[in-house]
Structure 1
Amino acid sequence: MFVSVDELNTQQAKWIDARFSLQDSGEGRRLYNESHVSGAIYWDLLKDLSDMSKKDGRHPMPEKDALTELFRRSGLELDDLIIVYDQGGSPFAPRAWWFLHYAGFQHAVIALEGFDELQAKGLPVDTLEPSPARSAVQPVWNEELYASREFVEQTVAGDTGSRLVDARSAVRFRGEVEPIDPIAGRIPGALNFDWEQLKEDGRFHADATLREQLASVVKPEEEVTVYCGSGVTAAPLYAMLKQAEYPNVRLYVGSYSDWISKEDAPVEKG
């Protein structure tokens, strides 16, 4: 999941640059063009890691065929060491990592360091966009990591035994403020763990205190389904739960924005 590059054989790695800005959708690509880890492929949140033609929330999940094509043109194989990075302390590398995890890439990790820190550590950088040899990789999808809308509906009805955990801020969770989606509130029955709590001084951390905070919301032996507004900021919460050795975790990629897209979908406030 989250790993310092100091612990990795970076010379044998394949790199994915997932930098992005929700406020400026072109920023990640501009930063990549200015400088990136040598050999890194750029994956864009909107163009590669979402299917914006769909109506299933604000960052809908791409079809498996599209993800397979992304992996193949990126030259990836299932047994590759793949290091994904972004600005550091952001949700975009975890989002990219989750798709790799879902597809069966067992050695994909999220760099704890953002690009500036990677460069400061002396990793080679350049402005060249690589053209990797196309692979014929065949993903091995693990559906136990994915929560469909139907699964979440069954969870709300009490039929799955999974615990919903909302990764948004407490004020959005309670429905007091909603700056993005048209309906304020949360999916009924959800608990709350603000993804910003996963960070310390702008960097993800996984110490004993954080594990205690997570366990105070949901126990490791419970099955957990995480969501946020659009499936982006829930990805680091998913990754951190796995880091904390929670064995049964799912991600509702459509998240709250998908949930409220259905007329008369129930929501809770307070």
Structure 2
Amino acid sequence: MNDKDLIVSPEWLAANTENPQVVIIDCRFSLADVELGQKQYQESHIPGAFYLDLNRDLASAVGKHGGRHPLPNIEELAAKLSAAGINLGETLVVAYDDSRLAFAARLWWLLRYMGHSKVALLDGGFGAWKAAGYPVTNILPESREGKFVPELQRDAIVDIQAVKGRKDLPDRVLVDSRESERYAGLREPIDPIAGHIPGAVNYPWQGVTDEAGKVRSTSEQKQRWTELGKAEEIIVYCGSGVTACVNLLSLEIAGIPDAKLYVGSWSDWCSYQL
């Protein structure tokens, strides 16, 4: 698989908005204002796009442990995907946001976890679409009939016990995807404890794209992971299992598949220290 399979341009998407084999999903969201993404979508979105909300659709309720964005109820998400006209293994899903893939990559990863590999991300997101002069609308799409029956890839995830047991083994690498200041424990705006999981190395997720949200080239993605390429197992985490998915995308583009997500991430890890 190469990056052409994982990333589509605004030009390509504009030519395929009427393609019955393509379903577009708007994933815009703001951690600072959890209703903003939905409002933005209702005001203006790519024609035909459906909306999935990080908190309501791509995660489940927060508990004492498990992190700030536990995996969603899979049956409920599958029903929503079916209602968007997505058929498992057949429909190409194109996801976008306006946050350098922070939220769209969560859907990209979830679909692959659920057994659906035909999913790509819009390069540059909604901003690139508008900058290219393509149309937007406030018309909401009607539900469709699809058949999405998940085939979970359970090897794609690990929990805290697996991280504890494997993080110090040779040829295993634990990747922290947060900003360097949070990794170093100099600043923690969200979780109650600052710092990182002992032994983790830091690869901030923002490095996958440029400031405009365009995905860096395949060669740059490969260069990014040069030191980890020979690891037997790579486990990726962030604050709550969302932006880590951007690094998982980068690893896939770089030709390093099968990296795993610690779903609960730092917010789960530090919850056991309170």
TM over 0.5: yes
1:53 Cα offset (Å): 4.2
Q: Counterpart of 1:244 in structure 2: which amino acid?
A: A
* Whole-angstrom CA distance in 2 between matches of 1:61 and 1:102: 10
Q: Counterpart of 2:23 in structure 1: which amino acid?
A: K
Look up the match of 2:252: 242
What are the residue-to-residue correspondences of 1:50-65 with 2, within 5 Å? 50-55=59-64, 56-65=66-75
CA contact 2:28–2:97 (8 Å) conserved in 1:
yes
Select 2:58's aligned residue among 15, 40, 49: 49
The alignment partner of 1:164 has SS state of strand
CA contact 1:227–1:252 (8 Å) conserved in 2:
yes
1:221 Cα offset (Å): 5.0
Look up the match of 1:14: 23
1:88 Cα offset (Å): 4.9
Select 2:163's aligned residue among 135, 145, 152: 152
- Report Cα offsets for 1:98-146 as digits up to 9, x if no partner: 1111112221101113213213435442111112223332111112222
- Report Cα offsets for 1:37-90 as digits up to 9, x if no partner: 111110011111111243411111113223222322322112101100111514
| TM norm structure 2 | 0.87
* Whole-angstrom CA distance in 2 between matches of 1:246 and 1:134: 35
1:36 Cα offset (Å): 0.8
Question: In the superposition, relative to structure 1, how do residues 86 and 220 fare at CA in structure 2: closer, same or farther (>3 Å)?
Answer: farther
* Alpha-carbon RMSD: 2.1
1:6 Cα offset (Å): 3.4
Select 1:256's aligned residue among 240, 259, 266: 266
Question: Is 1:118 matched with 2:129?
Answer: yes
For this pair of structures, how many residues does the alignment match? 262
Look up the match of 1:3: 8
CA contact 1:220–1:245 (8 Å) conserved in 2:
no
* Whole-angstrom CA distance in 1 between matches of 2:99 and 2:186: 29
* Whole-angstrom CA distance in 1 between matches of 2:62 and 2:145: 26
Gaps of 5+ in 2: 1-5
Look up the match of 2:3: none
Look up the match of 2:98: 87
The alignment partner of 1:144 has SS state of helix
* Whole-angstrom CA distance in 1 between matches of 2:168 and 2:153: 24
Gaps of 5+ in 1: 265-270
Select 2:240's aligned residue among 230, 239, 258: 230
Look up the match of 1:130: 141
Look up the match of 1:268: none
Question: Is 1:36 matched with 2:41?
Answer: no
Same amino acid, percent of matched pairs: 36
